[in-house]
Amino acid sequence: MPFPTWNSLTTAQKAAIVAAGTVQAGLFAAAWTDLSGRPEARLHGRKVVWRAALFVNFVGPLAYFAAGRQKSDWSEADIPDQSGRIAIVTGANSGLGYETARALAQRGATVIMACRSAQKANRAAEAIRALQPAGSVTVMELDLGDLNSVRSFADQFKTKYQRLDLLINNAGIMVPPQGQTEQGFEVQFGVNHLAHFALTAQLMPLLNATPGARVVSVSSTAHRFGHLDFADLNWRHRTYNAWQAYGQSKLANLLFIYELQRKLAAANESTLAVAAHPGYAATGLQGEGGGMQLANRLFAQTQAMGALPTLYAATAPQVRGGQYFGPSGLAELGGAPEQVESNARSHNESDAQRLWQVSEELSGVQFDL
């Protein structure tokens, strides 16, 4: 039986380890204080030996986390040249989507910023153009809360472009008040999963016709507390819980990507389906509350760092289909990107197949695979 790695642990197991470390630190401080004030005559052994023992026991775990774990050093500078490549980034007017679009454009890609608000997207596009990127950015309207808008966007894109190298399903909403999409789906399930499912399906033929194409969906560590209730995916018969609904949508992202990769492989297509998560990044997704903004300043990594796992998944030559990438730091909260593990529920093939069928029925869109 292989020894478990940090990335293979569940959120609860990681939390238990962090809690145990906190307790250990408290015990160390209490023992060190007591030892320092206690005469050696009242000790079993010499004070210097006990100090050494306490120090080694406390510093050992810290040294491991500081220097013992191999960490990625991948950065934007490692993004290969993207000249001639065309990328769609949903939700590119702010946050992780903006940083993803900017970085790809600076490396030479033609980036379509697919956004609900053309006004906000145009301001973001101008900010990127001001950086004089090697590539270019173009704004196209896309409202993921309306499947008619998704279809319109896909149709317009296919009339303008003959290839699609990267489809980055980045846009998402997080724990809003209970609401519905235009077609009546629970808003987080509808926007975060169902609309991206439909968008990918309608662009799949173009992706498969483009050598080296990739689909990247942005999930979250929140998938770990997500559960799919197939009897009530849209929260019509349950008391609404925004966090659980968010976790459900992020779990759906992973089930979709893993199933898409299996279907691509079975069809002998070269397109890769991969996923990423940003860790804890300071974006507008968490809201504007004072407590959250303070937490962002104290603990979160920057938007640009949060976008690195997505950029790695989209561009790194060594990426393989069905992989999942996140930050390499402690608890996957921050750091440069590396391959990480999602939970067992995200790899449930029966659930993935059922979700696929339900998603086709709800969206009215089928994949040509």
Task: Tell how strand 86-90 and strand 166-169 pair up.
Answer: parallel
DSSP letter for 109, please.
Answer: -
In whole angstroms, give the CA distance from residue 333 to residue 68: 18
Our answer to whether residue 312 is catalytic in this structure is no
For the record, the structure tokens of 223 come out as 């998938």
Q: How many helices (H) and strands (E) does the chain have?
A: 11, 8
Out of 98, 246, 280, 312, the active site residue is 246
From the list 19, 60, 96, 72, the residue with the least C-alpha distance to 329 is 72
Beta-bridge partner residues of 339: 325
On the 0-12 / 13-18 / 19+ scale of CB atoms within 10 A, 6 is: middle
DSSP letter for 238, please.
Answer: S
For the record, the structure tokens of 229 come out as 């209730």
| Catalytic annotation, residues | 246
